[in-house]
Chains A and B, each alone.
Chain A
Amino acid sequence: MRRLVGLGYRGELAHWLDGRPPEVGCLEITAEHFMDRAQDQLRVLSRHYPLFVHGLGLSLGTRGPLEIDLLKRFARVVDAAAPLWISEHVAFTRTSEVDLGHLNPVRATRESLQILSDHAREVADLCGKPLILENITSHVALRGEMTEPDFLNRLCDQAECGLLLDVTNLLVNSRNHHFDPLAWLDQIEPGHIVQLHVVGYSRDQGRWHDLHAEAIQEELFDLTEEVLMRAPVQAIIIERDENFPPPEELAEELRRLEAAFVKA
C-alpha cells in the first residue's frame, strides 16, 4: 500500500515547494483558495505531487440543498487538480439565514446522518472522486442520539466514504470536553480511516484551540502513532496555516511522521 506524507499547500510555502523538497510526498489543496484563481497552477502541481482537494465551505451538515454554484466551483478545482481523493467536514458552515464562515458541529442524530450522507454522495458523484469526511473541533458540545465515534462509523457506512481523522481535533476536543482520546479511537472502525491531519494545538485561557499555528507537540506525535498502529492510514497531511516556521522545521516534522509510518 502506498503511504504518503505531505503538507497543506499554502502560498507561504510555495517557494520552498518549488524546490521539490524530498520530505514532501504529497500536497493537500484547499479548494476555496483556488476557486477565484487561474487553475493552471493546480495542473502544474499535479504533475509533481499526488494531490488531495480539501473543502471548507460546502456545509454538508446544513438541511436543504447544497449551494450549487459553490459545488460547481469546487468540482472545477477538483477537475484541474486531478486528486487521489477529496475531503470535507462533518460540520455546517452556513444555515438558511447566515454564512458563519467556519466549521460548526452538527448534532449526532439519525436526521443529521441522512443529511450528511445525502450531501456526501452528491459531492462524490458530481466530482467523480472518492470522498472522505473529517471530524472537527468545537467548543460547543451538542447532546445527540449517539456518540461521536458511533456517528462517524455510521456516516462512513451510509455515505460509503472514508474518514479523514484530524488527530489534533481529537486531542483538542478530548481536553476541552474531558474524554479519553484513546477510548474514542477504540470505538472508530479502523478500516474507515484513510487520511490524517495533524498540526500543533494552541492554548489560551484554559482552553485548547486548533489554530494551525504551532509546531506538532509530542503528545500529538504519540497519538498519531497510536492511530497508525490501529488503522490502515494512506496519507498524513500537516495543516499549518499561520506562524510558518523555517522550512527545515516542517521538513523535520515530515520526517518524523514518515518514520511513524515505517514504525507502524
Chain B
Amino acid sequence: MSKLDLTTALGRLLTNALLRSEFKRSPRDTAARLTLRDEDLESFLALDPADLEVQAKTLLHKRYGEVSRLIPLSLARLESAAWSLFEAYSLTGWPEGPQRHLQDAAGFAEYLNRLGHVVAKAEIHRLRFILRENRFSACWVRDLLIRGRHHPGVQVLYRSGGQVHALALYLRV
C-alpha cells in the first residue's frame, strides 16, 4: 500500500475536525494511522494544532461565503446563529465535484429544515432546479425578491441557451 504524502494528509486534517482533534491529542498516533511517507513525517509532526485550526476555519469561511451567495435570505433569517449552525453542519462532510457549492447550499438548507429553521423557499426551489437540470419549474413561494422587497407569488424558472432564467408572478398590492 502506498504511503500518504504531506499534501494529502494536510487535506484530510483541514477538512476533518475529528482528525484535527486526534492530531492535537497525539500527532504521532495520527501519523501512524495515516501511514505517512517517511520523508514527510518530521514536517507532519511539526504542524501546530492551533495553526491548523485557523487555516481550517479560513477554508470553512470560504465555503460559507459560497453558500451565503446562494441562499442569502435563509442565512439572513438566522442572524448571528448562521455561522455556528454552518460550522455544525460542516461536520457532516465536505462537498465535492463541480456543483459542490450548490450541493453544499442545498445540504445546509436541508439541515436547517430538519432543525426547524425556516429557509427561503424561493432559494431552495432555484437550487433544486439548477441541480436537477430541469427545463421548467414553477413553485408558489412567499419570498420572491422584487425590487428589494419580498412578495408571495409564483416563481417560474426555465432554461434557455444554457442559462437559467426566472420569472415572478405576483400580485402588486
Contacts and interface: CB of A to CB of B under 8 A. Distances in A.
Contact of A140 (B8, B10, B15, B63): B10
B58 to A, nearest CB: 7
Interface of A: 61-63, 92, 94-102, 104, 106-107, 138-144, 207, 209
Contact of B7 (A62, A102, A209): A62
24 contacts: A61-B7, A63-B7, A92-B11, A95-B7, A98-B11, A98-B94, A98-B96, A100-B11, A100-B14, A101-B59, A102-B62, A104-B14, A104-B59, A106-B7, A107-B6, A107-B40, A138-B55, A139-B58, A140-B47, A140-B48, A143-B43, A143-B46, A144-B43, A207-B54
Contact of B12 (A98, A107, A207): A98
Nearest to A138: B55
A199 to B, nearest CB: 16
A142 B8 CA distance: 14
Interface of B: 5-8, 10-12, 14-15, 40, 42-43, 46-48, 51-52, 54-55, 58-59, 62-63, 66, 94-97, 100
A96 B7 CA distance: 9
CB-based closest 8 A-B pairs: A95-B11, A139-B54, A139-B55, A102-B62, A95-B8, A143-B43, A140-B55, A140-B51
Contacts of A102: 58-59, 62
Contact of A104 (B5, B40, B54, B55): B55
Nearest to A115: B7
Query: Interface on chain B toward A: helix, strand, loop, or mixed SS?
Result: helix
A142 B9 CA distance: 13
A102 B15 CA distance: 12
Given A98-B11, A107-B43, A141 B48 contact: yes
A94 B100 CA distance: 13
A62 to B, nearest CB: 6
B96 A142 contact: no
Contacts of B59: 100-102, 104
Contacts of A97: 8, 11-12
Nearest to B40: A107
Contacts of B100: 99, 101
Contacts of A61: 7
Contacts of B15: 98, 100
Given A94-B11, A98-B15, 6 more contacts: A61-B7, A92-B7, A104-B7, A104-B14, A104-B59, A143-B42
B48 A96 contact: no
A142 B43 contact: yes
Contacts of B42: 143
Given A94-B11, A107-B6, A138-B55, A99 B47 contact: no
A128 B52 CA distance: 37
A161 to B, nearest CB: 21
Contacts of B62: 101-102
Contacts of A207: 54
A209 B59 CA distance: 12
Nearest to A95: B11
Contacts of A107: 6-7, 40, 43
Contacts of B5: 63
B47 to A, nearest CB: 7
B66 A101 contact: yes
A139 B59 CA distance: 11
A216 B89 CA distance: 35
A107 B14 CA distance: 15
